[in-house]
Amino acid sequence: MAELRTKVKSLMRFVFSRLVVTGVLLLLQAVWLFILFNKLAEYAGWINVVGVVISVVMCAALIRKDSTVPEFKISWLALFILMPVQGGLLYLWWGDHRPALRLRRKLARAALRIRPLRTPEPAGHARLAAADPRAAATAAYLENYGGFPVYGDTRVTYYPSGEEMFPAMLEAMEKAERYIFVEFFIISQGRMWDTVHELLRRKAAAGVDVRLIYDDTGCVTGLPVRYWRKLEAEGIRALSFNPFVPMINLVMNNRDHRKILVVDGEVAFTGGINLADEYINEKQRFGYWRDTGVRLEGPAAWSFTTMFLEFWAANRPKSDERAVPRPVFASPAPGATGLVQPFCDTPVDDETIAKNVYLELINQAQRELFITTPYLILENDLLTALCLAAKRGVDVRIYTPGIPDKPTIFQLTRSYFPALINGGVKVYSFTPGFLHSKTWYCDGRIGAVGSINLDYRSLYLHFECSTLLYGGEALRDIRADMMDLESRCHRVELSDCRTSWLGTLVSAVLRLVAPLC
């Protein structure tokens, strides 16, 4: 009898889960639209005229936009040709737009309040300019166009897996005395989140300022609807970013994909690791889940503090950021080597910071350029830059998943392999499972660890973050980890790719629609 009750409860939880409810609402919306179109069938002529007019107007607006990359334009223009009546409406709803006006204004006001707290660090930039002028030029770009200083005196710890980073995150949060800020794209109930949740609840009860931001769409299958209310009742100040609405919405494309944990402004964690059991291989989804992250101890942690506060202030405009104390460091953190520059990217402005940083790393590579990415959807300039680097003698290696989490994106990723291999780039597939890390290594001089994928969503639509590492022991750890990764990979050859006439046609079609994925 007890077993039956358990099964019934499990079934009820599934039936009334957020995912099922959302699916039902979307189905009802589709049925309603179908009925509406049938009712309007007698006005089909007028509807066609209006649809075509909207498509022409949207097409003209798309062509006129200087900020839109050519691949976006080509994809949407092809859709206009295939669907002249519906194409305009689809572009109006899902096109290459900046976030809706209200969201832009909120974030712009928050930036005016918070970014002055992120003061420049002239000593760090001077050290970098003396040691590596080319890297200093990249750092100057980030500081001038993003407001992200270069920091010294910060200890960097690199983690080659979620299993290794998770205990360090718990240890840091246990030591919190003033505040804990948590911001993740995915939070899913299970061992990992339940452990963090209990710790945060205890710390909040002890008087620590605990705040949490989660992306509502990223958590649609992992958390109940309005989960923030439960957290607020427990003393954890929480908000869900850009709440998911099961209907066509102008800002549903703009997600908070960042992964940030800050403790007292002194310690910060970032990388590709979310708060869900697959990230620590407590749960098997697509074979072994491989990911990476970094821990910053020292002044650089303050940049992640201000990134969090900027998002928080946008959604809680009455919050007082002055109540968040900036730590004072009397001496460098033990083991601090190299320089550190955290940064974030946003779809709110017209500066594609993440893409430009990646292009900078490709263009300045001289000997080695190693990249791990779960999704490889390349614009022509990135593809050309990677192949050109290989052709000028740089050892360019790209590591991708062997088991997909999204089959269509997996095939789209593989569609770029022939061009890369023909251009001299070495491509590897992580055969034991899914490779989720977003890590870059360049010449032993520069590295990057963060949340930014090599795809259109990360580079144009999502809110992202990463950390540039200039020199230091962590770079040796990154290279050693990539060599270990490579030992578990299969090197992809042209014979593994689609090279037949039909196969290359399928790949070409996939790349044509890539910006729409």
Residue 146's H or E segment, with its range, is helix 133-146
Model pLDDT for residues 209-252, shown as the tens digit of each residue: 999 999 998 998 899 888 999 999 999 999 999 887 655 455 56
Task: Give the per-residue pLDDT at 25.
Answer: 55
Say if residue 493 is exposed, middle or buried (CB neighbours under 10 Å; 0-12, 13-18, 19+). Answer: exposed
Decide if pLDDT at 139 tops 80: yes
Residue 68: per-residue pLDDT: 58
pLDDT at 116: 85
Residue 20, pLDDT above cutoff 70: no
C-beta of residue 192 within 8 angstroms of C-beta of residue 275: yes
pLDDT of residue 44: 63
Give yes or no for residue 41 having a pLDDT over 70.
no
Which pLDDT value is given to residue 300?
96
Q: What is the mean pLDDT of the chain?
A: 86
Paired sense of beta strands 288-290 and 433-435, if any: parallel
Position 77 scores a pLDDT of 73
Report, as an integer, the average pLDDT of 96-124: 79
Helices (DSSP H) in 175-273: which residue ranges? 191-205, 227-233
376, 413 contact by CB (below 8 A): yes
Question: What mean pLDDT comes out for the span 458-469?
Answer: 94
pLDDT, residue 21, reads 55
Report pLDDT for 16: 46
Q: What is the pLDDT of residue 95?
A: 62
For the stretch 487-517, pLDDT in tens is 999 999 998 887 777 777 777 777 776 766 6
pLDDT beyond 80 at 320: no
Report the C-alpha gap between 167 and 161 in whole angstroms.
Answer: 11
Helices 133-146 & 122-131, crossing angle to 10 degrees? 150
Q: Give dist(CA 172, CA 295) in Å, integer.
A: 10
H/E stretch holding 206 reads none
Q: What percent of the chain has pLDDT over 90?
A: 58
More confident residue, 449 or 73: 449
Higher pLDDT, 37 or 309: 309
- Cα–Cα distances (Å) from 36 to 24, 30, 32, in that order, read 18, 10, 6
DSSP state of 502: H
Greater confidence, 112 or 271? 271
pLDDT of residue 190: 95
pLDDT at residue 9 tops 50: no
Structure tokens at 327: 């730590």
Compute CA 400 distance to the chain's CA centroid, rounded to the nearest angstrom.
16
Give me the helices (H) in 206-347, please: 227-233, 301-315
Q: What is the mean pLDDT of residues 4-28?
A: 54
Q: What is the pLDDT of residues 391-433, one digit of tens each?
A: 999 999 999 999 999 888 898 899 999 999 999 999 999 999 9
| pLDDT for 285 beyond 80 | yes
- Region 105-109 average pLDDT: 85
Beta carbons of 460 and 379 less than 8 angstroms apart: no
Q: Provide the pLDDT for residue 475.
A: 97
Q: Percent of the chain scored above 70 by pLDDT?
A: 81
Has residue 83 got a pLDDT over 80? no
Quote the tokens at residue 320: 């007082």
Dist. CA 413–CA 454, nearest whole Å = 10
Structure tokens at 125: 């930039």
Please report, for residues 362, 381, 467, the alpha-carbon distance to residue 456 in angstroms, rounded to integers and kept in the order given: 18, 13, 20
Mapping DSSP onto H, E and C, the string for 17-86 reads CHHHHHHHHHHHHHHHHHHHHHHCHHHHHHHHHHHHHHHHHHHHHHHHCCCCCHHHHHHHHHHHHHCCCC
Q: Which two tokens stand for residue 420?
A: 């890369």
User: Average pLDDT, stretch 308-333?
Assistant: 85
Give the pLDDT confidence score for residue 52 in this predicted structure.
73
Looking at per-residue confidence, does 102 or 347 come out higher?
A: 347
Helix, strand, or coil (residue 483): helix
| Cα 349 from Cα 345, distance rounded (Å) | 9
Query: Range with the lowest mean pLDDT among 180-194, 240-254, 292-306?
Result: 240-254
**Confidence at 382, pLDDT banded by 50, 70, 90:** very high
Mean pLDDT of 310-332: 84
Indicate whether 372 pLDDT > 90.
yes
